[in-house]
Structures are given as C-alpha cells and as structure tokens.
C-alpha cells in the first residue's frame, strides 16, 4: 500500500475526486435522497395496494390508497431527522447497546404514537377535501399491528443509515494513532503524536497533527477536521485531549477542541457562551465553562 505524507486536499475537487465533489453537494444530496426514496416507496405501494384491491374485487378510487401511503410515508419522512438526532445522542454501538437499546425501544413507542396520530390527521384532511369520511380502526389489535410495523421501519432506517456511515468512513478515511515500532525507538513521541495514520480506500496517508483545525465528539469516535474533511478516530474527547499539544489545542466545549492556529475570532453571546470563528468560515461553539481557557490559550499563542 502506498504511503504518502498527507492526504490530497479536498478543497480543489478534480474529475477523479468524486468524494470532494460529493462533499460539496452532500448537504443537499442526503435530504434529496430520502425525499426521492420515500416518494418512490409511496408511489409503488399505492400501485400495489390498488392492484390488490382490484384483484380482490373491492376496487377503490386510486386517490384513496395514494392518501393512505402518501400520508404514512410523509410523516415518517418528517420524523426522520428526529430519529437520526436521537441515534446520534444515544448511538447503537456494541459497547453501548445494553444501555441505549432500551431507550430506542421506548423511542419506538413515541415514534409510532406520533406517526399514527399525524397520519390519521392527514388522511382525515384529505378525505374531507374529497367530501368523504375516513374511518380509522382504533382497536388495540390494529394499533399493535401498526406499532410492530413502525418498530420495523424505525430500526430499518437506523440500519440503513449505519451502513451509509460505514461506507462514508471507508470513503473519507478513518484515522488511528501510529503504533510503536516492533524494534527500535519510535520516530516521534507515542504519547503525544505529531501525525495520525489515515486509511482511505486501500491507501494510507500520514496526517500531521498541526493541520487538524478542530475536533468534534461523535459517538464512540472523535472527528478530526482537516481541510473540509472529517477523519473519524476511535477515541474519547478526554483521551485525545491528553495526547495533543496544549499550547496549540484547547478544549472549548464538551464536544469540541480547537486548534488555536485556525481560530480567527471569538464572538461572545448574550447567554454567556461564545462562538469561535475558524479560518474556513465555520463556527465552533464555546461554552462558558471553557471560555477562560480559550482566552488564555489565545494570548499565549
């Protein structure tokens, strides 16, 4: 495998750098994917339901199954950001499964309740526009049936997002600390590394620590932000903070560490917190607890 000094800069995408191109469109591409996917699922399910009713000799106007499927998929789509935010807060990782799985099972109850309530409301509105009446079966067996479907939907979404994240980790590159050599002295301090090893699509790159702009907590990982790329490193914020140069890296939030070389200004907020504006225009939250540390580090730098 090839070993080079640093990963190619994603800020200047070329015809062969598909990742850089995708990262530029990613904020729009991901929501667009879900919208298109749910629209296709609603349309295909509508057609299948209508065909089944026609075969059974109980045909209904096409708009009725369209309302049933459309309302259900629209509500799930609207709830998707909340599901993903909850999973980020309580990730379903192996080490956290025992603690977080019961929380997600409780979340499925809330998800199903909101889904059914909003879905029925939309259907009643649609039927009212058509001058018809929508009758929903509120029996406990039917509610249990709906709940079991919602549980399946909930965890299917999480599994799909999990596979997507794994692919993105492999595509973007995952960082790890350099191991000590089997023989001889290490070329740099192992306790305070000057470089990280990034594995990306079968290749390896050495990422200088001084090029890390900021670090963000993300579940069982921390993301190393370098030139608009996030390189996940399996570590806690406390562990990585102890292995970074305190003259350059400062903790500014329970979920963020910044490289002072990339901080342009500190903007105070009325709440007592602050924002650190970085060289690339991004902002990083600064909590009141860490504001003094950031000031001291900035003055010392």
Residue linked to tokens 């649609």: 126
83: pLDDT strictly greater than 60: yes
pLDDT 10s digits, 284-300: 989 888 877 776 655 55
Residues 247 and 105 in one domain: no
Residue linked to tokens 């977080």: 100
Residues 131 and 271 in one domain: no
Pick from 192, 173, 250: nearest CA to 9: 173
Domain finish residue from 172, 202, 230? 172
Residues 32 and 159 in one domain: yes
Count structural domains, the chain: 2
174: pLDDT strictly greater than 50: yes
- Inter-CA distances, 30 with 15, 46, 159, 164, Å: 21, 24, 16, 11
Strand, coil or helix: what is 177?
Answer: strand
- Is the whole-model pTM more than 0.85? no
Domain that holds residue 65: 20-172
CB atoms within 10 A of CB 180: 10
* Angle at alpha carbon of residue 71, lines to 65 and 73, rounded to 5°: 100
pLDDT band for 184, please (50, 70, 90 cuts): very low
CATH number at residue 254: 2.40.50.1020
pLDDT 10s digits, 35-60: 999 999 999 999 999 998 888 887 77
Residues 63 and 100 in one domain: yes
pLDDT of residue 157: 95
Q: What is the mean pLDDT of residues 190-195?
A: 70
Give a yes or no: residue 51 inside a domain: yes
Give a yes or no: residue 84 inside a domain: yes
Mean model confidence pLDDT for the chain:
83
Give a yes or no: residue 140 inside a domain: yes
């Amino acid at each position: 495998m090839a070993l080079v000094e640093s990963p190619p800069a994603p800020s200047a995408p070329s015809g062969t750098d598909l990742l850089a191109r995708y990262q530029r469109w990613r904020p729009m591409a991901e929501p667009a994917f879900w919208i298109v996917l749910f629209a296709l699922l609603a349309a295909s399910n509508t057609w299948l339901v209508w065909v089944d009713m026609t075969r059974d000799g109980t045909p209904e106007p096409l708009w009725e199954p369209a309302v049933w499927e459309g309302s259900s998929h629209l509500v799930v789509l609207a709830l998707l950001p909340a599901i993903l935010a909850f999973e980020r807060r309580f990730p379903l990782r192996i080490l956290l499964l025992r603690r977080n799985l019961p929380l997600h099972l409780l979340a499925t109850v809330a998800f199903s309740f909101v889904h059914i309530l909003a879905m029925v409301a939309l259907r009643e509105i649609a039927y009212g526009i058509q001058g018809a009446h929508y009758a929903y079966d509120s029996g406990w067996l039917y509610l249990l049936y709906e709940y079991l479907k919602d549980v399946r939907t909930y965890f299917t979404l999480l599994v799909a997002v999990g596979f997507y994240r794994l692919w993105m980790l492999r595509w973007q590159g995952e960082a790890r600390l350099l191991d000590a050599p089997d023989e001889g002295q290490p070329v740099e301090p192992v306790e305070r590394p000057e470089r990280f090893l990034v594995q990306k699509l079968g290749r390896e790159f050495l990422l200088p620590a001084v090029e890390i702009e900021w670090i963000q907590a993300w579940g069982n990982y921390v993301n190393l932000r370098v030139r608009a790329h996030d390189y996940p490193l399996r570590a806690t914020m406390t562990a990585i903070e102890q292995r970074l140069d305190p003259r350059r890296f400062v903790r500014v939030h329970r979920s963020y560490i910044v490289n002072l070389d990339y901080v342009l200004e500190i903007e105070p907020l009325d709440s007592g917190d602050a924002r650190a504006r970085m060289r690339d225009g991004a902002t990083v939250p600064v909590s009141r607890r860490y504001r003094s540390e950031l000031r001291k580090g900035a003055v010392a730098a």
